[in-house]
Amino acid sequence: MRKPDSKIVLLGDMNVGKTSLLQRYMERRFPDTVSTVGGAFYLKQWRSYNISIWDTAGREQFHGLGSMYCRGAAAIILTYDVNHPQSLVELEDRFLGLTDTASKDCLFAIVGNKVDLTEEGALAGQEKEERSPDMDAGDCGSPRVPKQVQLEDAVALYKKILKYKMLDEQDVPAAEQMCFETSAKTGYNVDLLFETLFDLVVPMILQQRAEKPSHTVDISSHKPPKRTRSGCCA
Ligand SMILES: Nc1nc2c(ncn2[C@@H]2O[C@H](COP(=O)(O)OP(=O)(O)OP(=O)(O)O)[C@@H](O)[C@H]2O)c(=O)[nH]1
Ligand SMILES: [Mg+2]
């Protein structure tokens, strides 16, 4: 298997829907999930590049592994649940520090998932989804509730992250481009999330290749050194 050209990591509290988002994108379905143990990855071919996408465990007991998974990452998806404000707080308190091992020009996306469970989710682009009997209610048929975390809160976190990383707003993608609201259940904004990131990491791959000299030596253009009389190479 060819080494991946780039790496994207999903981080966030348990139960926010990291595994579901990844499965929705990669397998085009919304299966039952079990809480992730450790981590797992998918390989996605995007144009001619291989991008690994890592799913991590949100459970506290696996917290120590987070910075290992983030090592060298080109992009990190910080995921929260739009119905649980604490899951956004946790991104700053518990997960941001894990990203110190990522690449120095790492991109950040902030993703509020489970928008289908909110009243606003009823309006948010659900015309594209396949209709099913549970579409007019939240999970388990419960009525939709007002969204607990607003997109502006995610934008504020994005700006805090830039400060934490000492990045200039002008040098990175705008908050509006990098803060998403998604539903792994309906598929809302899921392709947009992943494919926005793929398109942003491709120039990073090209830049890395330009900076790093290739380890491959072209032996056809290699001339043997001339020998001097003493037998030393000139
Ligand atoms: N309604 C709704 N439920 C969702 C959505 N995404 C995930 N879920 C449900 O939320 C629960 C947790 O989803 P997971 O994808 O396993 O969450 P996780 O973030 O991977 O959790 P850990 O692996 O424990 O860190 C499951 O019951 C999912 O079916 C969504 O967009 N909408
Ligand atoms: Mg999981």
CATH number of the domain where residue 191 is located: 3.40.50.300
ipTM over 0.95: yes
Assigned token pair, 179: 């803060």
Contacts of residue 216, defined as CB under 8 A and 6 or more positions apart, other chains included, come to none
pLDDT for 24-80, tens place per residue? 999 999 999 999 998 999 999 999 999 999 999 999 999 889 999 999 999 999 999
Q: What is the mean pLDDT of residues 104-128?
A: 84
Residue whose CA is at the smallest distance from ligand 1 atom 9: 17
From residue 105, give the alpha-carbon distance in Å to each of 99, 108, 116, 128: 11, 10, 33, 35
Kindly give the distance from the C-alpha atom of residue 48 to the centroid of ligand 2, in angstroms, as a whole number. 28
Answer whether residue 86 is part of any domain. yes
Assigned token pair, 39: 């981590």
Mutate to test the pocket of ligand 1, among 14, 23, 25, 33 (most ligand atoms within 8 A of CB): 33
Ligand 1: nearest atom to the Cα of 186: 31
Host domain of residue 104: 4-126+144-209
Phi, psi of 2 (to 5 degrees): -70, 145
Q: What is the mean pLDDT of residues 143-150?
A: 90
Structural domain total, the chain: 1
The whole-angstrom separation of Cα 123 and Cα 131 is 14
The answer, yes or no, to whether residue 233 has pLDDT greater than 70, is no
79 closest CA partner among 174, 182, 161: 182
Answer whether residue 93 is part of any domain. yes
Residues in the chain: 234
18 in Cβ contact with 58 (< 8 Å) = yes
Answer whether residue 220 is part of any domain. no
Ligand 1 cavity residues, CB under 6 Å: 12, 14-20, 33, 35-36, 57-59, 113-114, 116-117, 139, 183-185
Answer whether residue 232 is part of any domain. no
The whole-angstrom separation of Cα 81 and Cα 160 is 19
Residue whose CA is at the smallest distance from ligand 1 atom 2: 114
From residue 125, give the alpha-carbon distance in Å to each of 129, 185, 187, 189, 193: 8, 13, 10, 9, 15
What residues form DSSP beta bridges with 75? 8, 107
157 in Cβ contact with 91 (< 8 Å) = yes
User: Residue 129: what pLDDT?
Assistant: 47
Kindly give the distance from the C-alpha atom of residue 232 to the centroid of ligand 1, in angstroms, as a whole number. 69
Mutate to test the pocket of ligand 1, among 11, 13, 19, 53 (most ligand atoms within 8 A of CB): 19
Answer whether residue 224 is part of any domain. no
192 in Cβ contact with 21 (< 8 Å) = no
Assigned token pair, 66: 């987070």
Which helix (H) or strand (E) segment holds residue 42: the answer is strand 39-46
223-232 contacts: CB < 8 A, separation 24 or more?
Answer: none
Answer whether residue 102 is part of any domain. yes
Q: Which ligand is in closest contact with the Cα of 16? A: 1
Phi, psi of 136 (to 5 degrees): -95, 10
Assigned token pair, 114: 């489970």
Answer whether residue 92 is part of any domain. yes
Confidence of residue 112 (pLDDT cuts 50, 70, 90): very high
Kindly give the distance from the C-alpha atom of residue 17 to the centroid of ligand 2, in angstroms, as a whole number. 7
pLDDT for 161-219, tens place per residue? 999 999 999 999 999 999 999 999 999 999 999 999 999 999 999 998 998 766 655 56
What residues form DSSP beta bridges with 80? 112
pLDDT for 198-208, tens place per residue? 999 999 999 98
Answer whether residue 131 is part of any domain. no
Ligand 1: nearest atom to the Cα of 16: 19
